[in-house]
Amino acid sequence: MVTQLQPDVRAYLHGGEVIKRYIKVEEVAYE
């Protein structure tokens, strides 16, 4: 189960990184 869960955790963390980058881009655009 741990090996099955790892890809999901990685995808979740990667999604968080993408969202953070998107928010940063939005902030720069508003400036």
The pLDDT value given to residue 3: 62
The pTM assigned to this predicted structure is 0.46
- Give the pLDDT score at 2: 59
pLDDT of residue 27: 85
Quote the pLDDT of residue 13: 87
The single-letter DSSP state of residue 8 is H
Position 14 scores a pLDDT of 86
CA quadruple 16, 22, 23, 25: dihedral positive or negative?
Answer: positive
Q: What is the pLDDT of residues 1-31, one digit of tens each?
A: 556 678 888 888 888 999 999 888 888 887 7
What 3-state class would DSSP assign to 12? helix
